[in-house]
Amino acid sequence: MRRSPLPLVLCLSLTACMVGPDYQRPVTDTPAAYRYADKEAKNLSNTLWWEQFQDPVLNDLIRTALLENKDIKIAAARVEEFQGRYGVTRSQLFPQVSAGAQGQRSRSPRDNGPVPLDPSVDPVFNNYQATLGVNWELDIWGRLRRLNESARADLLASEEGRRSVILSLVASVASSYVTLRDLDRELEISRTTAKARGDSYEIFKLRFGAGTISEMELAQNQSEYERTMASVAQFEPLVAQQENALAVLLGRNPGPIIRGRDLGQLALPSVPSGLPSELLERRPDLRQAELNLISANALIGAAKAQYFPTISLTGLFGSVSNQLSDLFTGPARTWSYGVAASMPIFTAGAIAGQVQQAEAVQQQTLLVYQQAIQSAFKDVEDALVASSKSREQMAYQARQVDALRTYAHYARLRYDNGYTSYIEVLDAERTLFDAELNYTRTRATVFTSMIDLYKATGGGWVAEADKLTSTAAPLPSSNGQAK
């Protein structure tokens, strides 16, 4: 008795191996510590760090951006796209079942053909069919499993890309808000100084009319007044443009932005702690780069599997009858099953070219991943040194502003009492005005450097921010190496 080859084929499929390299995380050159690590750093990577600013308006703006920003919605739609692609690829691992039905009525000519139709036979006849077909490609060499591995990594990479958008968005909204409050303060300083100099200019015009001062002193006073008015005209459009930029981040049309605390009232966030080695797990863009590498690595195996035979199981079960009433009776039943195999013999280098292409893409993705790690370390180091040195700079500038205010006060007294010329007053007030603007800018730099540091170090706060969005979706579990 002949034995069916089906049990042997099923056994082979169950014990099949996958060709191609299995993924292993590349060894990376990780620094032991950051050069400019802060001694007072705290483990705050899993908290909503922007709440440390103690500005409820900023908190509301970030929540609004997480719900309405168009980049997040685009990233969420991209995740759904890759979910669909993963579903299509994964389906190929399972048997494909299809059903069909057909009804046909036809007439044969009596006198055409080599054998005339018997006059007693009805030339009109019916044909009814109902079939159920099955086709299953046995993944003996792991081609489909490698494609499934690649598709799953692409899906998880798209999700990490969405989280990268969240990371960048939160940092951008916070930085834009700080910049807006900085411009508000610079505009306020300019307007206050312009008003004071405008009042002084009116007094000087009266004194010039009375002949107590020269035209040179009047011109000197006017020049400083015009200079501060030019600063007002400079900052007013910058404020409006910054409002428009922030409104777009919030997913709105350009327009005014509600304000909260002044720049000087914002609380400075604490410095986050963390080791360089933790950066690989805390930054979603690095996890995304590694998942892209996993995907490219799997495609090498899928390409190499094309060298081996493709084996499929096919089956058909159904009924065929000339009468619809007899379609599902015993005599009308029909079935078949079989095994189909194909193997490339000569492809003129097509498969070799695909393998070479997959290996080259994997090498490119590896280099991109390594480059992303180096850039991440650079981002953290840059943010750390900017945070440290900008705070030192702000302390120096605060003392400089206090000293210049004293200088301007006594210069004005000396001029009023006739001990010096008005040039000394102009020099003191001009220097004080510039120092106040620089101090405000440095204060903003201190806040933005801290924001950049939280962005550069990443952390669990991205997952916490993700909870404030409505775009999260369930995903397949990762292999543990990129999560």
Three-state secondary structure string covering 275-287: CHHHHHHHCHHHH
pLDDT digits (tens, 9 = 90+) for 62-74: 999 999 999 999 9
Q: Residue 288's closest CA among 111, 187, 375, 159?
A: 159
Rounded to two decimals, what is the model's pTM?
Answer: 0.85
Residue 7 lies inside a defined structural domain of this protein:
no
**pLDDT tens digits for range 372-390:** 999 999 999 999 999 999 9
pLDDT digit string, tens, across residues 239-297: 999 999 999 999 999 999 999 999 999 999 888 888 888 888 889 999 999 999 999 99
Estimate to the nearest angstrom the gap between the alpha carbon of 385 and the chain centroid.
Answer: 25
Nearest CA to 440 out of 196, 234, 178 is that of 178
In a domain, 390, yes or no: yes
Q: Which domain holds residue 171?
A: 14-100+150-309+351-466
Q: Is residue 6 part of a domain?
A: no
Question: Are 114 and 107 within 8 A, CB to CB?
Answer: no
Q: What does the H/E/C string look like for 290-342?
A: HHHHHHHHHHHHHHHHHHCCEEEEEEEEEEEECCHHHCCCHHHEEEEEEEEEE
| Banded pLDDT at 1 (limits 50, 70, 90) | very low
17-33 confidence digits (pLDDT tens): 789 899 999 988 888 88
Q: Looking at the domain assignment, is residue 136 inside a domain?
A: no
**CA distances (Å), origin 181, targets 104, 117, 174, 240, 265:** 78, 97, 11, 12, 10
Domain count, the chain: 1
pLDDT tens per residue, range 392-434: 999 999 999 999 999 999 998 998 888 888 888 888 999 999 9
Calpha distance 24→293 (Å, rounded):
10
- Is the residue at 170 inside a domain? yes
For residue 384, the domain's CATH number is 1.20.1600.10
Domain presence at residue 105: no
Asked whether residue 389 is assigned to any structural domain, the reply reads yes
Number of other CB atoms surrounding residue 437 within 10 Å? 18
Question: Is residue 480, in this structure, part of any structural domain at all?
Answer: no
